[in-house]
Amino acid sequence: MRASDVFRVAGKVAFVTGAAQGLGRAMAEALAVNGARVVLFDRDAAGLERVETALTDRGARVIACAGDVTDGAAVEAAVAATVETFGRLDICIANAGISDPDRALLHRTSSDGWARVVDVNLNGVFHTTRAALGRMAEQGAGKVICVASMWGLAAPAALQPRPAYAATKGAVVNLVRELALEYAGQGIQVNAICPGFFRTETRPRDADQEAAFNAFTPMGRVAEAEEIAGTVLYLASSASDFVTGTTLVIDGGVLAG
Ligand SMILES: NC(=O)c1ccc[n+]([C@@H]2O[C@H](COP(=O)([O-])OP(=O)(O)OC[C@H]3O[C@@H](n4cnc5c(N)ncnc54)[C@H](O)[C@@H]3O)[C@@H](O)[C@H]2O)c1
């Protein structure tokens, strides 16, 4: 079997949340430049437009769709528009996520900050996977990829307290296991990506933070956003057809310690 066949995503239809920057942008790009048709969803309309233009200029077929993952109706409408435009939905990436605004110990965490993280990181994944799984169940096929974090499998407090982030990412990891079982008989695979420290447009925020991330990572560096490409092509393609309910850790060795 040729690698180009096993990892093929050409012609597939993908929906990616949080696609205006960072890992979402990098995953959308990996799919689009390899021939997938991609709907980009994000609350940042201007950022989305930039990504849409950049990818379209490279010959990719992408559509920007502005909206917020905390709004279930907006996500449902965007997934419906995806199917209307491209005829089906093969790949859904629930990626949009935020970190604790307070970055404080739990007893100093505001209710608003906590609720906001739960709304984006957990309710957003609920809205996104619900909309996608309905379509995929009708098709009898699909790949759902949820972006959790290494901090869904271990706790971040040794570096910085982020209680809501830890709680929601852990929840996403176990939701993925649940969804994998619920849809295992329907041709749908559901998996999680658990990234370590990746460079995005906003992270690391300065040299000190980058030095801290580097020191925490056995490989001694943060990953570039584009290094997520192999992981997403694996989980989005037939290469992972017998893989479901798993967490793919891509962290430069942090969780091995
Ligand atoms: N970058 C890392 O080091 C890292 C590590 C582990 C996990 N992650 C996870 O990867 C995912 C992407 O992270 P990133 O670093 O690329 O983040 P980022 O902040 O660079 O990008 C996130 C994108 O999601 C969008 N977004 C945020 N809230 C949204 C909402 N409510 N509705 C729609 N769009 C929304 C933002 O506008 C932005 O474009 C997140 O789930 C994050 O927790 C990132």
pTM over 0.85: yes
Active site positions, annotated: 165
Ligand 1 and 98: CB distance under 6 A: yes
Give the DSSP H or E segment for 61: strand 61-66
pLDDT tens, residue order, the chain (257 aa):
899 999 999 999 999 999 999 999 999 999 999 999 999 999 999 999 999 999 999 999 999 999 999 999 999 999 999 999 999 999 999 999 999 999 999 999 999 999 999 999 999 999 999 999 999 999 999 999 999 999 999 999 999 999 999 999 999 999 999 999 999 999 999 999 999 999 999 999 999 999 999 999 999 999 999 999 999 999 999 999 999 999 999 999 999 98
- Give the E-state strand segments of 170-214 in sequence order: 188-195, 198-199
Closest ligand 1 atom to Cα of 119: 31
| Residue whose CB lies within 8 A of the most ligand 1 atoms, among 27, 40, 41, 42, for a mutation test | 42
Burial of 220 (0-12, 13-18, 19+ CB in 10 A): exposed
- Domain ranges (residues) in the chain: 3-249
Ligand 1 and 135: CB distance under 6 A: no
- CATH of 3-249, picked from 3.40.50.920, 3.40.50.720, 3.20.20.70, 3.40.50.1100, is 3.40.50.720
Distance CA 116, CA 6 (A): 39
Ligand 1 and 198: CB distance under 6 A: yes
| Residue whose CB lies within 8 A of the most ligand 1 atoms, among 17, 39, 95, for a mutation test | 95
**Closest CA relative to residue 124, chosen from 70, 178, 171, 87:** 70
Q: Is 239 helix (H, G, I), strand (E, B) or coil?
A: helix
Ligand 1 and 4: CB distance under 6 A: no
Report whether 232 contacts 133 (CB < 8 A). no
